[in-house]
Amino acid sequence: MISGIKNINKINMIKVYIASPYTIGDCAINVRRQIDAANELMNNGFAPFVPLYSHFQHMIHPRPYQDWVDIDLVWVESCDALLRLDGESKGADGEVDHALKHNIPVFNSIEQLIKFYKK
């Protein structure tokens, strides 16, 4: 068991990609929303992937937008599920479409995700 995570073997953890707005609204608040969602997922035994951590790398080493999109789609494919946080976002909508094309289930709330995987 990982400290602080509800009785789950780390080898069997479900990997969850978090998709949400970034550039519409306040970027810092949007990053915080993903981090908060990741923390709640971790508390429930999931292994979240937080693509908006790239916000900090981009501040130091800026890259073209398409670079981030391409990298994010690779990560979408490696996850078991995608959590779509609310809010307008062409990027997050594209990640949802990509997940669905790869038969990766998409959830609109952490509660849905927990209900599905913690039967």
10-117 falls under which CATH superfamily?
Hypothetical protein PA1492 (3.40.50.10400)
pLDDT, position 7: 53
Q: Is the dihedral of CA 31, 107, 91, 70 positive or negative?
A: positive
Average pLDDT over residues 58-68: 91
pLDDT in tens, 69-100: 999 999 999 999 999 999 999 999 999 999 99
Q: Give the chain's mean pLDDT.
A: 91
**pTM for this predicted structure:** 0.88
pLDDT, position 12: 82
Range from 7-11, 28-32, 34-38, 53-57 carrying the lowest mean pLDDT: 7-11
Which sequence spans correspond to the domains of the chain? 10-117
